């Protein structure tokens, strides 16, 4: 049977980076096994629905190149893939489960249940309490029918039988056992006709032929109910295998990484920026911070999984080749942001300069900077060893893009003296006379120039650097000149000379 896996997020806000890791592991597992990766939107909880969240999820998957084979926005034969479009299906199956004797109608009013909860702190609707409540297990068949005919508001609950051990062979955790006496009779279908997560999730996994459920550890407790649902429907033979992923921990390693940790540590914990209703609910993203999607994917893949060996840099194809659930760790994985930065540096260094230019262009344009292709390609080549994030190209490398605004006066005080004026004027002429403006040719030619005038490198090169960048920082001065080009280099030398003379 071919592998079919799904990523099933609820559109309740921005998708946390941990959700992207879940999607990634599902994707890699599908690729590795020649299977199918499905995106299902679980939006049955209308109270938690947030407009824009579904679009965000899809954009985040596209950005990280985790393209579903089937799903909302991606087609497929077993849709619809958005749960709110499947309401009737769940209603049918809920009634079917009642008919099979594994679920029942419950007519208790919300007020009645509230009263019970107020009276007993740990009140649970279960095999002990249901016998004294208003449901189709306690009422006569006629009374039930009357309620149903009259449209009395009711829910459908799962009938959990007592004294059962529910065993799950989790592919990551091994055997996990739940005792049915500890489980409540979960609501499957709400009074408004909407299913709960549990019902919709199981019905869909079944109808969509899901073979493996790979999801976050927080869903492990729900799995007991899910197994009972599979059994109740008689679907146990095709029940998917479960793999519950370890948590992602805070950068210091203590406790689960939460969305608030982004602000706390000044780091992104979402793939894309999210503009919520309030500042508190708005978050920066990996994309906007200037991570390359490939670096983000590589970082996330190794957050809780490693195939063994020394290799750390993996392309998506290599990840898919190497991936296996057996190599996912049981314990939480620390969200090591420094490591994420390291991956980004490595990916930027290895990136094609033309591809980098494409990423830099909008950043340059936003600042009103020069953005012609060749200049950007050369700037990328010059700066890629020095940056961590994409915006660093224009922020750290500002001196390539804008005329010098401030000069390092202290350095000028040390290096400039009026006796240098004729040499500097000659230097400008010499530069102007260059025919090829490549770094090495320029270096050769300027060395000859200095030699001819008995100047030492230390007399003139710091001034040349100050003229071009205003600061002593930056890449090799000849490389910088070559990227700026002759016209701009000469212009900067002239401006600097005027400044030196006035200084």
Please confirm, yes or no, whether 87 is among the known catalytic residues: no
Q: Is 219 in the site for ligand GLU (CB under 6 A)?
A: yes
Report whether 42 contacts 200 (CB < 8 A).
Answer: yes
- Does residue 10 interact with ligand GLU by CB under 6 A? yes
Touching ligand GLU, residues 173-202 (CB under 6 A): 197, 201
Least distance CB 98 / ligand GLU (angstroms):
23
> Could you say whether residue 26 binds ligand GLU (CB under 6 A)?
no
Asked if 262 contacts 269 with a C-beta cutoff of 8 angstroms, the reply is: yes
Q: Which is nearer to ligand GLU, 74 or 219 (CB)?
A: 219
- Name which position in 4, 5, 9, 466 contacts ligand GLU (CB under 6 A): 9
Q: Whole-number minimum distance, CB 139 to ligand GLU, in Å? A: 33
In angstroms, give the least distance from the CB of 223 to ligand GLU.
9
Cα separation, 399 vs 405, in Å, equals 9
Residue tagged 């992602």 (tokens): 248
Helices 373-383 and 477-484 meet at what angle, rounded to 10?
170
User: Any contact of residue 294 with ligand GLU (CB under 6 A)?
Assistant: no
To which H or E segment does residue 6 belong? strand 4-7
* Three-class secondary structure of residue 183 per DSSP: coil
Q: Does 449 bind ligand GLU (CB under 6 A)?
A: no
24 vs 351 by CB, closer to ligand GLU: 24
Q: In angstroms, give the least distance from the CB of 215 to ligand GLU.
A: 4
Stretch that binds ligand GLU, among 7-15, 185-193, 256-264, 486-494 (CB under 6 A): 7-15
Closer to ligand GLU by Cβ: residue 10 or 371: 10
The pair of three-digit structure tokens given for residue 345, joined into one six-digit string: 């540096």
CA 227 – CA 178 distance, rounded (Å) = 10
The answer, yes or no, to whether the previous bond of 260 is cis (omega within 30 of 0) is no
By C-beta, is 219 or 265 nearer to ligand GLU?
219
Subset of residues 317 to 356 that bind ligand GLU, contact rule: CB under 6 A:
none
Comparing CA positions, the residue from 11, 113, 23 lying closest to residue 303 is 23
Residue 245 or 356 with smaller CB distance to ligand GLU: 245
Pairing between strand 333-334 and 103-106?
A: unpaired
Q: How far apart are CA 21 and CA 9, in angstroms?
A: 12
Question: Which one of the listed residues 259, 341, 367, 486 is annotated catalytic?
Answer: 259
Q: Which region, judged by CB under 6 A, interacts with ligand GLU, from 4-12, 86-94, 425-433, 459-467?
A: 4-12
The closest of 246, 326, 226, 279 to 21, measured between CA atoms, is 246
Shortest Cβ 159–ligand GLU spacing (Å): 22
Backbone angles phi and psi of 262, in degrees to 5: -55, -55
476 contact partners, CB below 8 Å, separation of at least 6: 439
Beta carbons of 295 and 63 less than 8 angstroms apart: no
Nearer to ligand GLU, 30 or 144 (CB): 30
* Residue 470 interacts with ligand GLU (CB under 6 A): yes or no: no
Q: Which of 42, 54, 185, 294 binds ligand GLU (CB under 6 A)?
A: 42
What is the number of residues in the chain? 503
Residues involved in catalysis: 259
| Residues contributing to the site for ligand GLU (CB under 6 A) | 8-10, 42, 197, 201, 215, 219
């Amino acid at each position: 049977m071919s592998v079919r896996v799904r990523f099933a997020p609820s559109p309740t806000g921005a998708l946390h980076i941990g959700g992207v890791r879940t999607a990634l592991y599902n994707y890699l597992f599908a690729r590795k096994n020649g299977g199918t990766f499905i995106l299902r939107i679980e939006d049955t909880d209308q109270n938690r629905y947030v407009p824009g969240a579904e679009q965000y999820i899809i954009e985040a998957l596209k950005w990280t190149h985790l393209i579903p084979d089937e799903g909302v926005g991606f087609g497929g034969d077993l849709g619809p893939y958005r749960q709110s479009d499947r309401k009737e299906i769940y209603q049918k199956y809920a009634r079917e489960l009642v008919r099979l004797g594994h679920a029942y109608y419950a007519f208790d009013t919300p007020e009645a249940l509230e009263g019970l909860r107020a009276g007993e702190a740990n009140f649970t609707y279960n095999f002990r309490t249901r016998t004294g409540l208003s449901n189709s297990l306690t009422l006569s068949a006629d009374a039930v029918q009357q309620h149903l005919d009259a449209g009395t508001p009711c829910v459908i609950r799962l009938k959990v039988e007592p004294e059962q051990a529910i065993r799950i062979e989790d592919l990551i955790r091994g055997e996990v056992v739940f005792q049915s006496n500890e489980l409540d009779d979960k609501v499957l279908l709400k009074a408004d006709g909407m299913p709960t997560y549990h019902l919709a999730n199981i019905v869909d996994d079944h109808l969509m032929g899901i073979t493996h459920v790979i999801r976050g550890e927080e869903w492990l407790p729900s799995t007991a109910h899910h197994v009972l649902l599979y059994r109740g429907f008689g679907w146990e033979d095709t029940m998917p295998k479960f793999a519950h992923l370890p948590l992602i921990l805070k950068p210091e390693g203590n406790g689960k990484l939460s969305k608030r940790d982004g602000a706390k540590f000044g780091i992104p914990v979402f793939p894309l920026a999210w503009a919520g209703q309030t500042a508190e609910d708005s978050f920066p993203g990996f994309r906007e911070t200037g991570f390359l999607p490939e670096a983000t994917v590589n970082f996330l893949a190794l957050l809780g999984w490693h195939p063994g060996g020394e290799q750390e840099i993996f392309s998506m194809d290599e990840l898919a080749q190497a991936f296996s659930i057996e190599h996912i760790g049981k314990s939480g994985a620390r969200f090591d942001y420094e490591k994420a930065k390291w991956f980004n540096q490595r990916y930027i260094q290895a990136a094609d300069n033309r591809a980098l230019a494409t990423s830099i262009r909008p950043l340059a344009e936003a600042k009103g900077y020069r953005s012609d292709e060749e200049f950007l390609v050369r700037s990328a080549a010059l700066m890629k060893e020095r940056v961590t994030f994409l915006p660093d190209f224009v922020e750290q490398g500002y001196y390539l893009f804008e005329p010098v605004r401030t000069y390092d006066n202290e350095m000028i005080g040390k290096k400039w003296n009026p006796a240098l004026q004729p040499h500097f004027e000659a230097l400008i002429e010499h530069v102007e006379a260059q025919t090829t403006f490549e770094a090495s040719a320029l270096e050769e030619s300027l060395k000859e120039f200095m030699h001819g005038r008995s100047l030492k490198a230390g007399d003139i090169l710091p001034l040349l650097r100050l003229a071009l960048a205003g600061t002593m920082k930056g890449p090799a001065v000849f490389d910088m000149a070559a990227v700026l080009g002759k016209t701009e280099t000469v212009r900067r030398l002239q401006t600097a000379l005027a400044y030196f003379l006035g200084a």
